[in-house]
Amino acid sequence: MFLAALLTLAQAQDSDVVTLHKGQPAPFDGSLLTTEAVAKIVSQSELAEKECKIEFEAEKKVAATILDYEKSRSAVVLQACVDGATRDREAAKRDYDELAAAAKRQQLAPVVTFSAGVVGGIVITLASAWAIEMTVGQ
């Protein structure tokens, strides 16, 4: 109600505002307010505006704090993901290197076995030939 009266006063034209003294008739229909009542309405309006601004600034600070928290939290989560991915990649590389070394050893095993068999066969053949020659030659 006070706000409606204040809005009416704020929108009033100069001709709608008339200062009256006690006992004078009003030149038009309307509401009569004392100077103190008008001052109270204006001061309440100004106070309400200041309270609104204070509340807005407080809400703005809360929102900024929440935003900062969320940004920090997101940075921590991202770093944890990056660290985890780095650890996984390093573990995968170690596993790959171990498997590659094992595969290389397994590839060498048949070659070594074959070579040993050939050399062994040659040695046995030469030894057998020498033994036969020794027995035949006697």
The pLDDT tens digits of the residues spanning 34-91 come to 888 889 999 999 999 999 999 999 999 999 999 999 999 999 999 999 999 999 999 9
Tell me the H-state helices in the chain.
Answer: 2-11, 35-136
The pLDDT tens digits of the residues spanning 89-120 come to 999 999 999 999 888 777 767 777 888 889 98
The model's pTM: 0.46
Q: Is the pLDDT of residue 5 over 70?
A: no
Q: Which amino acid is at 79?
A: Q
Q: How far is CA 16 from CA 9, 28, 32, 100, 131, in A?
A: 9, 8, 12, 97, 143
pLDDT number for residue 3: 44
